[in-house]
Structure 1
Amino acid sequence: MKTSVNLIFNVVFLVLLISPSVFSWKKDEFRNCNQTPFCKRARSRKPGACNLIATDVSISDDGDLIAKLIAKIPENNEAQDLPTEVNSKPLLLVVSVYQDGILRLKIDEDQSLNPPKKRFEVPDVIIDEFLSKKLYLQRLSEEKIDNDVGFSSVVYLDNDYEGVLRHDPFEVFVRERGNGKRVLSMNSNGLFDFEQSREKTEGEDWEEKFRGHTDTRPYGPHSISFDVSFYGADFVSGIPEHATSLALKPTSGPGVEDGFSEPYRLFNLDVFEYIPESPFGLYGSVPFMISHGKARGSSGFFWLNAAEMQIDVLGSGWNAGEEKIKSPVDEKRIDTLWMSEAGVVDAFFFVGPGPKDVVRQYIGVTGRPAMPQLFATAYHQCRWNYRDEEDVFGVDSKFDEHDIPYDVLWLDIEHTDGKRYFTWDKLLFPNPKEMQNKLAEKGRHMVTIVDPHIKRDENYHIHKEASNNGYYVKDASNRDFDGWCWPGSSSYVDMVNPEIRNWWADKFSYINYVGSTPSLYIWNDMNEPSVFNGPEVTMPRDALHGGIEHRELHNAYGYYFHMATSNGLLKRENGNDRPFVLSRAFFPGTQRYGAVWTGDNTADWDHLRVSVPMILTLGLTGISFTGADVGGFFGNPEPDLLVRWYQLGAYYPFFRAHAHQDTRRREPWLFGERNTELIREAIHTRYMFLPYFYTLFREANVTGTPVLRPLWMEFPADEETFSNDEAFMVGNSLLVQGIYTQRANHVSVYLPGEQSWYDMRTGATYKGGKRHKFEVLEESVPSFQRAGTIMPRKDRFRRSSTQMEKDPYTLVIALNSSKEAEGELYIDDGKSFEFEHGAYIHRHFKFSNGKLTSSNAAPYAAGGKRFSTECIVERIILLGLSPATKSALIEPANQKVEIELGPLTLRPGWSPSVLTIRKPNLRIAEDWTIKIL
């Protein structure tokens, strides 16, 4: 009887758990700072509370600056007034310097003193290439800072910057050489605190409770907190993921906005229907912040730590009434407070000075973004769930019937056999290989979902193997952790262990993943990890990964799962294709393994609007291949919202429509003929610009510069751009302004810079450096090409991107006031890694002195592989030339061609008069010149 009662209870419990209404965001289901002891303690510290000083400073045999941090005992102290640091053991500090002006600071307990527990340091994030660029310090200089009694140690970063370890009071900062102006600093406000390992005293209680869950905390408090200051900054950004503005709002100090009295939380969580304009943490965490200011430029700070983190942006006057901390330079700055539950200090200072420099320096540490396959940069169609094979083929055929291109069809959890991953429901999907192959015949692909929760079923081979081999995360009692997720009772593979990751990767072979084909790719969801009956809908902090507590690595769990899945696709038998894996959870380094999306958003205008700063923020942290669910995951969008979302989403780096299973079907043809036409045109826009997007993905792959960019990244001195996150740049050439209100009649668009801008619909010219009012049109969102740029396009519409491979190119040349323009085009085979061996085409286009020139921009690699294409240039569109221009001469062919009036695009109704060279029939891969006569 007891067994049956328990079974009924569990079934009812699971039904409640999977109800969307239960999962909608409820504030009291998650901890706030006052309910989080380490955050509450750190926030209560006063400026100057840190009493540490640096001693025994020297250069180590490894070429690092090393020192001990010990507590300074005040003169005439009384025992009851001693700071807590006095009774602590010395901390070990190490400063390392790397190429490109990067300073690394590590602070940890001294292992030679045998602390009770070794603190966790996050592996597999910092790339080997960065470690090989370490500069070995030969000596250090000493100088007195301001009126300090003792000396400070100065190390060389590069010709423009120096790193300084201030001994007393303890502080680390980077400054400009020569003038001594600070760039960024740690502990300038004296808020540093490091809770060291210790033995529990008799009667001491380390347990923490929240909403019926008990965290045993067997090792006690291990938190770290410190202040970081950004000098010359007008604002700070970064630290995704939060649904809020690009410029981070103050969370502490006078005048804090409603809803922003909590720190920005970095703790990966499964949050259904999250609310916009909140510092609450979502699905991923990147503890990297970038500052920017008109005067100084940009700088950045990165703390490699996978435990829960809380970060305060301290508003002006936050320390009013407190004794001012002595500082040698009194200049404008933004102070922040960083707090983490565990880990070590492993921090990186990036000097910039430009925003693109800071991003480049950051990815120099964590790795370059992966180069996606071409098909992955096109349009994706997804729903929870397409019911069966008949539904799949019906949707596929409807896209063709309505002349709407798409590249990828997705299957959610219902395609599996009882939510057992790597399986198929044999009734609904009896012929998965045939289904995939039929899509592949049209150049299309399929994605299936694989989540980290494994159904506890002795007849399920994945569970049986993982259980028998000891591959699961353990609970605090060292038994396989058992939590609830979509399959019911589930366990979670311990992805922190490289051996277990290799085992997981093997599951994606065609032999192990029966029914998979080379055209099948993967979606990792719920990998925060999501545990429906766990504290805050995630895994208990005292769960164990080997000897490591989950609290120490929580934010990196989804990263390791993403890594293992990506490596699994690399190990498949088809060899050299680049993997495509979408992940919901992320961490520094995620950019090396695939794409990310912004999670379970809602079909409303606020979520459409906040998608832009969310995507822009991710791009600043190197994660460029990102997007939001077009239309909103929850709810039923009205047609005008859905259309506007498609028109904006066509410019997301990752362009996917997705919807919850309880929503009405919303494929593009279900909203009436006119709306179908508008959505078709939005999707066609993406396909038209695929050559431009693919070129930008290559730029991101090489430099880290994101595909979608804040306006201030391209116009860093224009203060009008600093708070503008409703418009964005696609690369350096295209500005897009979203429409975020229903039935809007007009929209105000700020066009930055001194050059003009060309309306992408009409070709009309607008002056830069000012705001313009435009009538809102139903056909498109406002978009403008920057004068002085050249953009490549493909204008023939096909069923998919793979069918466009041999199509000709169009070049759109937008001349500036000097009648000049430049642009680039990158081409490779669209799928393999051969580009890493030189098998690609990279063209540079330049218009100057009345000539358009195409030249090779690819470095010559002796013995490298070659890539070739027979594609030609079909049209050249000229914006900004006199209409009297009639002809041009192609060299070296010595062929004269006519210049005529023609449309900017081939779309119906889009026929403004611009200058066009039709069918010059120039090979895209060759050198040539067109001289305007």
Structure 2
Amino acid sequence: MHALHLIISACAVASVIGVDRNNFKTCSESSFCKRNRDLEPKDSRFHVVPGTINIGSGRVTFELLNDEASFVGEVITLVDNTARLMINEKAPLHPRYVVKDSLDGEPKTAPLKLEEQTDASVRVNFGSEGRASAVIVFKPFRVDFLMDKEIVTSLNSRGLMNFEHYRKPALVQHDPPAPTEATEEHHEGEEGQENHEQPPAEEHQAPPEPTYEDWTETYKSHTDHRPKGPSSLGMDISFPGVEHVYGIPEHADSLALKLTKGNGAHHSEPYRLYNLDVFEYELNNPMALYGSIPVMMAHNAQHSTSVFWNNAAETWIDVSNSLAKSGILSMLSYFHGSDETPQIDTHWFSESGIIDVFVMLGPKPHDLFRQYAALTGPTPLPPMFSIAYHQCRWNYNDQEDVYGVNKGYEDHDIPVDVIWLDIEHTDGKKYFTWDVAKFPNSKEMLDKLWSYGRRMVTIVDPHIKREDGYHIHSDASSQGLYIKNHNGGDYDGWCWPGSSSWIDFTSPDIRKWWAEQLSLSRYSGSTTSLFTWNDMNEPSVFNGPEITMHKDAKHHGDWEHRDVHNVYGMLQPQATGEGQVARSGGRDRPFVLSRAFFAGSQRFGAIWTGDNTADWGHLKASMPMLLSIGLTGLTFAGADVGGFFKNPDSELLIRWYQAGAHQPFFRAHAHLDTKRREPYLHDENVMQRIRNAILARYSRLPFWYTLYYHASKTGVPTMRPLWVEFPSEEATFSLEEEYLIGSALLAKPVTEAGVSSWDVYLPGKDEVWYATDDLSRYTGGQTITLSVTLDRIPLFQRGGSIIPTKERIRRSTVQMLNDPLTLTVALNNQGSAKGDLYMDDETTFDHHSGKYLLRNFEFTAGKFTSRNGDTAGSYRSESWVQRIDVIGITAQPATVTLTLSNGSQRQLAFYFNASHSRLVIRKPDVNIGEDFDIVIA
């Protein structure tokens, strides 16, 4: 069998039997991970050199020393209660990689004020209203960050900082070194480290001190040459007073991170961040998956804080708990008057780069979202079609198959906005091409879909088939656009096309070239209604170590792949999106879906959770996975509805649609070997339930779009854990199977088979919650048991909120642009409610030049008002208000009077249902952009 077929067959077997762990390293099989993890807490070997402290505008610089090398460090104070610690070698033999692509521009510094300086430490004050402080302790080196005079984050308080400086290869010896000055220094530098590759003592004469014998490392048949030698670094980060930490996606694990070390450890391995193509990944596992965001959020009832470890190399994180003492005890005692407090201890270590840590001090969850968005950028407002429903499969067979899918949705009156094509649509797996036998007239197909208001997405992966005459390969080969192997030739590996090379997206010039391939003249057969799916961009290399690229491959700037691995997959969708924008002359917003991601990926499009499986466990796991991703800035994310591998039964499929309809990115997708499962192919009862779930998504698109508008401004996720809105309610801290959509809707999808009841926790003892289907009213601060059927999932509107919807059934969002709106007003215990609505043309960048509409709604004391929420907006919508539902009103009104902005008045028809405490105000028929009042008397 051909080598590629063997590889693909192995992958197919993996998809049946689950992930093959033998393909992926454990910490003990990664030498730098083992060296760092073996370190024990103690006084740090690093100390600040006396007399090197320099306090300037917005930064404190200093020199650090350990037993063997000198380093430079700086604490930089940034705007909005944020700070940055950077540590690098003072005079490295080779430059060390600093990740810049993650950041949305250079972070803005903020002034600092010297509070105290002694021979032992320096304390500076910064941030909003001077609430934040940083204390740099000289010996042993430690940095504490305080908010309102309480330590919330402490760096190197356990003394686990490690920084393997670059050395000359001559220092690597198998025999005991001669007692020269150089080797003595080398030996001292190995304190606390082990050479795990040495055989047992009885089989090999070990040197007096461990030496760096792992300048090369072999995993299976692959050799990593490490021409610069070991270069790992690490540091412990502690969160006093905290018992729950979140983030560091992507892992198929719980929302609140589990302990990986010490008493009570749930996992024996650290959490790993290393973008990998993992077939049918396991649940409840800290193994690396497709994306990596090195951001962790710590939360308790008093405050929230987060850290961003800005490093794109392979990274591992241990999580343990303890009582705060030792290094930070004195500071805590000073402020708390207590000897100990619970804390979460984490230990971060990366293979290369520098120590570059951002600390965001909150103090509340919404503050953290804003602070992180200021660093890495928020999610830009996506086009409306992209947050609607998508239909995908590997693969729709040909042009007629696509027409049949479109017809199936039409005939059964089910909305869909995008139909997707996987790798089989291409000419022999050559991207930016079409198989003309299957798709003889792609433009005709795209135009026909567009006549229904539907778009198409095609897959474009980063691996390029090495075939003579293929224009992408010819250009990339002749112009030097490929990643190089360690010897300087084009990197050549195996992926779907067979022998392949990978575009080097780390080069800005090469990204520009890639963007040009999206032009209508270069991408033959494309139109402006065609968008892009970047898959396999971890990058996946079928015959590479851990199914990815060799770490000693070379990138632009002579950086090794080990330095840039986790950021690589983010740079392809960046270039792809820029190409889509350029294709439209800068007018239209792009849409790109990526499998790999990193900090900052939110700026370039959506992601999904990869190759999940059609079982109940994967449906349940999608909730904490998406919540974790959203907490770390990437709010535009979803999971394949129905599961990618295997065949869901009808109950699981219905439940998955009901969940997916209430998650940020809503796409159905399935493996090549699965049965066809488009909604209209099922029996009437199943189809109608799926259809109702899709209709629920479309009706609430105005609400979702408004949430994405706020995300684009503040970085707040659209899908949120309950504790984000109820930060002092400890009962919410570990909840992961229910979540909030914005702050107004609470969803708890059914994730078990055959259930007739479902427990739901409703937060907030002073809150009111209304079931959206039967309008039942519940008080918060309790767990309720709700009866459920296949037609129902628990979904509640929060009292005090106003939600905009569109109730007309349309085939796609294009037809819905000017449809009328319904406003659902859910009253709280005070009889009031607030909400808003954002609108624009849903497609272009014209909103950047003021063509948008923001409306603020309020109901209080029997009066509903609609006002302009932003006078800078100038968009004129054709939509009008069709109905206003007021839920929680207790008495039937005598009159309902509409007053327009010009002073004119008229009486409105209404309907009152006493059993549901519901007032329906019919046909106000006022343009949504106009100010108006409605008085209920």
Displacement of 1:912 after TM fit?
A: 6.5
- For residues 644-683 of structure 1, the aligned pairs below 5 Å read 644-683=655-694
Which residue, 114, 118, 127 being the options, matches 1:157?
A: 127
Cα distance between partner residues in 2 of 1:184 and 1:60: 22
Of 437, 455, 468 in structure 1, the residue corresponding to residue 447 of structure 2 is 437
Query: Partner residue of 2:716?
Result: 705
What is the alpha-carbon distance in structure 1 between the residues aligned to residue 416 and residue 428 of structure 2?
Answer: 29
Find out whether 1:402 has 2:373 as its counterpart.
no
1:717/1:96 Cα in 2 relative to 1: closer, same or farther (>3 Å)?
Answer: same
The one-character-per-residue Cα deviations of 1:22-73 (angstroms, maximum 9, x if unpaired) are 68411121100111111111111111152211123433666521100113xx
Correspondences of 1:238-317 after superposition (within 5 Å) = 238-257=247-266, 260-294=267-301, 296-316=302-322
> 1:77 corresponds to which residue?
none
Letter in 2 for 1:293: N
* Rounded Cα–Cα distance in structure 2 between residues aligned with 1:307 and 1:428: 42
Q: Deviations over 1:375-433 (max 9, x none)?
A: 11100000000000100000101101111100000000000000000000000001100
Shift of 1:98: 1.2
2 CA distance for matches of 1:468 and 1:218?
27
Query: Which range moved further: 149-158 or 402-411?
Result: 149-158
> Which residue pairs with 1:166 in the alignment?
137
Decide which moves more: 640-649 or 573-582: 573-582
Paired residues of 1:899 and 1:918 also in contact (CA < 8 A):
yes
Q: Which residue of 2 aligns with 1:848?
A: 860
Q: In structure 2, how many angstroms separate the alpha carbons of the residues matched to 1:586 and 1:356?
A: 23
For the residues of structure 2 that align with 1:195 and 1:919, how far apart are their CA atoms? 71
Mapped partners of 1:645, 1:15: distance in 2 = 28
Q: For residue 416 of structure 2, give the secondary structure of its aligned residue in structure 1.
A: coil
Structure 2 unaligned spans of 5+: 175-212, 333-339
Q: Work out whether residues 188 and 327 of structure 1, in 8 Å CA contact, stay in contact via their aligned partners in 2.
A: no
Is the contact made by 2:838 and 2:854 (CA closer than 8 Å) also made in structure 1? Answer: yes
Partner of 1:826: 838
Q: More deviation in 412-421 or 19-28?
A: 19-28
Give me the whole-angstrom Cα distance separating, in 2, the residues matched to 1:618 and 1:712.
15
Which deviates more from structure 2 when the two are superposed, residues 119-128 or residues 763-772?
A: 119-128
Q: Give the counterpart letter for 1:314 in structure 2.
A: S
Q: Which residue number corresponds to residue 175 of structure 1? A: 146
Q: 1:742 is matched with which residue? A: 753
The alignment's C-alpha RMSD in Å is: 1.8
Between the aligned partners of 2:498 and 2:794, the Cα distance in structure 1 is: 47
1:473 aligned to 473, 483, 502, which one? 483
Distance 1:490 1:219 in 2: 27
SS of residue in 2 equivalent to 1:920: coil
Classify 1:573/1:889 alpha carbon distance in 2 versus 1 (closer, same or farther; 3 Å): closer
Query: For 1:91 and 1:120, how far apart are their aligned partners in 2?
Result: 15
User: How far is 1:920 from its partner?
Assistant: 1.1
2:426 counterpart residue number: 416
Match of 2:205? none
Label 1:594 to 1:12 Cα distance change in 2 as closer, same or farther (>3 A): closer
Does structure 1 retain, via aligned residues, the 8 Å contact 2:123–2:133?
no
> Equivalent residue of 2:791, what SS?
coil
Q: Contact 1:417 / 1:424 at 8 angstroms: preserved in 2?
A: yes
- Of residues 41, 62, 65, the one that matches 1:67 is 62
Superposed displacement of residue 780, structure 1: 2.2
Classify 1:599/1:609 alpha carbon distance in 2 versus 1 (closer, same or farther; 3 Å): same
1:135 corresponds to? 110
Q: For 1:105 and 1:69, how far apart are their aligned partners in 2?
A: 13
Partner of 2:930: helix, strand, or coil? coil
Name the residue aligned to 1:866. 874
Paired with 1:60 and 1:457, the residues of 2 have a C-alpha distance of 58
CA distance in 2 between counterparts of 1:897 and 1:467 reads 70
Q: Is the 8 A contact 1:14 1:488 kept in 2?
A: no
Give the Å deviation of 1:175. 1.0
CA distance in structure 1 between the aligned counterparts of 2:329 and 2:932, rounded to whole angstroms: 63
| Structure 2 contact 15–279 (Cα < 8 Å) conserved | no
What is the SS of the residue equivalent to 2:598? coil
The structure 2 residue matched to 1:623, chosen from 634, 653, 656, is 634
Q: Residue 87 in 1 paired to residue 95 in 2?
A: no
Contact 1:886 1:900 in 2 (8 A): no
What's the secondary structure of 2:101's corresponding residue? coil
Specify whether residues 895 and 19 from structure 1 end up closer, same or farther in structure 2 by C-alpha distance, changes over 3 A only.
same
Counterpart of 1:5?
none
Measure how far apart 1:929 and its partner are: 0.3
- Conserved 8 A contact 1:415-1:424: yes
1:796 to 783, 802, 808: 808
Aligned match of 2:84: 104
Alpha-carbon distance between aligned partners in 2 of 1:926 and 1:733, rounded to the nearest angstrom: 24
Aligned partners of 1:17, 1:530: CA distance in 2, in Å? 14
TM-score computed with the length of structure 1 as normaliser: 0.92
Aligned pairs for 1:537-556 (under 5 A) are 537-546=547-556, 547-556=558-567
Which letter maps to 1:300? S
1: CA distance, partners of 2:633 / 2:663: 15
Following superposition, the deviation at residue 557 of structure 1 comes to 0.5
Alpha carbons 1:788, 1:822 under 8 Å: kept: yes
SS at match of 2:275: coil
> Quick one: which amino acid aligns to residue 341 of structure 1?
E
- Taking structure 1 as reference, are residues 202 and 282 closer, same or farther at Cα in structure 2, changes over 3 Å only? closer
Given that 1:475 and 1:543 are in contact with CA atoms closer than 8 Å, whether structure 2 keeps it comes out as: yes
CA distance in 1 between partners of 2:875 and 2:153 (Å): 45
CA distance in 2, matches of 1:127, 1:795: 38
Correspondence 1:198-209 to 2 at 5 A: 198-200=167-169, 201-203=171-173, 205=213, 206-209=215-218
Do the aligned residues in 2 keep the contact of 1:558 with 1:585 (CA within 8 Å)?
yes
Aligned residues: 882
Q: Is the 8 A contact 1:299 1:358 kept in 2?
A: yes
**Matching of residue 576 in structure 1 with residue 582 in structure 2:** no
Rounded Cα–Cα distance in structure 2 between residues aligned with 1:452 and 1:141: 52
Aligned mate of 1:931, from 922, 929, 935: 935
Residue 747 of structure 2 aligns to a residue in which SS? strand
The one-letter code sitting in structure 2 at the alignment partner of 1:92 is V
Say which SS state the counterpart of residue 515 (structure 2) adopts.
helix
Post-superposition Cα deviations, 1:321-361, rounded to whole Å, max 9, x if no partner, equal x9887542133321100011111011101000111111110
Q: How does 1:355-754 map to 2 (within 5 A)?
A: 355-546=365-556, 547-753=558-764, 754=766
**Structure 1's 378 and 651: CA in aligned 2 closer, same or farther, altered over 3 A?**
same
- CA contact 2:253–2:285 (8 Å) conserved in 1: yes
Residues 146-179 of structure 1: per-residue CA shift (max 9 Å, x gap): xxx72334343342111111112211111134xx
- Provide Cα deviations, 1:450-477, integer angstroms capped at 9, x if missing partner: 0000000011110011011111111111
Take 1:461 and 1:208, find their aligned partners in 2: how far apart are those partners? 37
Unaligned runs of 5+ in 1: 1-7, 72-85, 904-910
Q: Which residue of 2 aligns with 1:52?
A: 46
Contact 1:53/1:169 (8 A) holds in 2: yes
Paired AA for residue 116 in structure 2: E
1:809 equivalenced with 2:821 (yes/no): yes
Cα separation, 2, equivalents of 1:479 and 1:829: 48
The structural deviation recorded for 1:899 is 2.1
1:797 match: secondary structure:
coil
Deviation per residue, 1:287-344 (Å, 9 max, x gap): 00001101x2200000110000000111347x9xx98875421333211000111110
1:886 and 1:383 map into 2 onto residues whose CA distance is: 55
1:191 to 1:589, Cα distance in 2 relative to 1, 3 A: same
Check the 8 A contact 1:853/1:928 in 2, yes or no: yes
Paired with 1:870 and 1:15, the residues of 2 have a C-alpha distance of 53
Aligned 8 A contact 1:474 1:544 in 2: yes
Q: Is the 8 A contact 1:682 1:780 kept in 2?
A: no
Q: Does the Cα contact within 8 Å between 1:16 and 1:22 map onto a contact in 2?
A: no
